[in-house]
Amino acid sequence: MKLIIKRNYSSVIILLVLVMIYFILYSILKNEYLYYSRLIINKLPEYYDNNLGNKQVGINRDYHLLLVGLALVTIIYVSVKQHFSFLLGYSVLTFFFSAFYEISLDTEIKHGGFLFSTVLFFPYIIYIIKDVIIGKKIDITNQLITTENNTFSETVENLKSLKDANIISEEQYNHKVSQSRQEKKRNEFMLTKEYQTLLNLKKQGIFSEEEFEKKVEEVSAWK
């Protein structure tokens, strides 16, 4: 059995893009919001009018649209992965979170810009841990066996061409085919659990290098 660790970096790429979009737009909205807040507090005659509060409401609306847009991307990403139970749990968590905090730009500013963003990007952190740091084990034994079979067939065909062209003799042809077949059997045996067991026993000192190689040759010949 041959296992490899497959890592999926899509969550990292999407997270980086979304973080960049979020904080660029958040910074723009934040600066505009604070600008109007200062005007309201100072009530400067040359700037102050009754529309300043409405402008803040509009900025808050734009911030809500930003959150909704990024949340939709997250929902689509999780749905594509068909992790619907995770999506349901995340939705419930978000619902309870919104019950404790008013979803507004003012609230986000008070928490340094990392309150709603943390909740928004939380699923990607889980996927990075799962798909990148841990990874997924995949058994590629069948693919390797197929490759060995294809390589052996190609070798036999090439040797046959040389024999038909009288470049090598029948005896040489049979000898080389036999060598290739034995190498194929050895390579296939190296993909088995039995080979891993022998290898572990050699590492433990139960088999010497010579005994190990002899046993591999013997077992390969039986296959």
For 69-96, write each residue's pLDDT tens digit. Answer: 988 898 888 888 878 788 788 888 787 7
Q: Which of 85, 114, 137 is the last residue of a domain?
A: 137
Evaluate if residue 163 carries a pLDDT over 70. Answer: yes
Same domain, 123 and 188: no
Total domains, the chain: 2
Categorize the per-residue pLDDT at 159 as very low, low, confident or very high, splitting at 50, 70 and 90. very high
Same domain, 11 and 117: yes
Same domain, 112 and 19: yes
Mean pLDDT (whole number) for 149-172: 91
> Is the Cβ–Cβ distance between 60 and 103 less than 8 Å?
no
Same domain, 102 and 165: no
Report which listed range, 25-29, 57-61, 86-90, 119-123, is most confident.
25-29
Mean pLDDT (whole number) for 103-132: 88
The 3-state DSSP class for residue 6 equals strand
Q: CA 211: distance to chain centroid? A: 42
Categorize the per-residue pLDDT at 133 as very low, low, confident or very high, splitting at 50, 70 and 90. very high
Question: Tell me: the pLDDT tens digits for 193-216?
Answer: 888 888 888 889 888 888 888 888
Q: Where are the alpha helices (DSSP H) in the chain?
A: 10-42, 52-80, 84-100, 105-110, 116-127, 141-164, 170-189, 193-203, 209-222
% residues pLDDT > 90 (the chain):
23
Cβ atoms within 10 Å of 221's Cβ, excluding its own: 11
Categorize the per-residue pLDDT at 20 as very low, low, confident or very high, splitting at 50, 70 and 90. very high
Same domain, 104 and 186: no
- Helix (H) or strand (E) segment spanning residue 137: strand 136-139
- What pLDDT does 142 receive? 86
Evaluate if residue 51 carries a pLDDT over 70. Answer: no
Expressed as residue numbers, the domain containing 156 is 139-222
- What pLDDT does 34 receive? 87
- What pLDDT does 44 receive? 56
Window from 23-27, 88-92, 138-142, 161-165 with minimum mean pLDDT: 88-92
Average predicted confidence (pLDDT) for the chain: 85
